[in-house]
Amino acid sequence: MSQDGQNAELLCSGNAQVKVQMNPGSIYNNTFVEIVGIASGGVVREERSVDMGDNFNLGHYDQVVQMANGKFKHLFS
């Protein structure tokens, strides 16, 4: 992860790099951060972010995302 206070380049759970246009005052202090934003032209404009700490299991997160979009999709509709 790299960040300069205005932009960040992060590694997504799917191992893809993503560029984030940070909100003014945002600082990502931990190893894992969730970014909620709007994607356009290869950049995500941050709406909000949540630090997830340094011990977050991305493998489990990926499994939850797959189930929420597959077998258990009806629970999230």
Domains of the chain: 2-76 (2.40.50.140)
Residue 22: is it exposed, middle or buried by C-beta count within 10 angstroms (0-12/13-18/19+)? buried
pLDDT at position 62: 87
pTM of the predicted model, to two decimals? 0.76
Beta strand extents in 1-77 (DSSP E only) = 2-3, 7-11, 17-21, 32-40, 43-53
Q: What percent of the chain has pLDDT over 70?
A: 100
Q: Answer yes or no: is pLDDT of 14 > 80.
A: no
Confidence of residue 67 (pLDDT cuts 50, 70, 90): very high
